[in-house]
Amino acid sequence: MTSYTVGLKLGVRAKVLTIEAEDALVAALKIKLENPEALVTYVRKSNRRGDRRHPHEVQRAKTTG
């Protein structure tokens, strides 16, 4: 799987998350499922160098148990 960075807007606040997904559409839909009121502003492949310097919040997969 590939890491994607997803930008979203919640009300007046912007937020950036990093998520593992098969492609960009799946990454956006996973974020939208967790935050239905959010507006997805962009999705891009994670930039290893830049993301290490400025880490984003990581979206964790929910486990069922």
**Distance between CA atoms of residues 21 and 43, nearest Å:** 11
- The rounded Cα 63 to chain-centroid distance in angstroms is 18
Strand order of the sheet with strand 13-21? Answer: 39-45, 2-10, 13-21, 57-58
| Per-residue model confidence (pLDDT) at position 65 | 45
| Per-residue model confidence (pLDDT) at position 43 | 93
The chain-wide mean pLDDT, for the chain, equals 82
Tell me if residue 29 falls in helix, strand or coil: helix
Whether 30 shows a pLDDT value over 90: the answer reads yes
**Distance between CA atoms of residues 12 and 29, nearest Å:** 21
Whether 44 shows a pLDDT value over 60: the answer reads yes
Please state the rounded mean pLDDT for residues 49-62: 63
Tell me if residue 51 falls in helix, strand or coil: helix
| Per-residue model confidence (pLDDT) at position 63 | 47
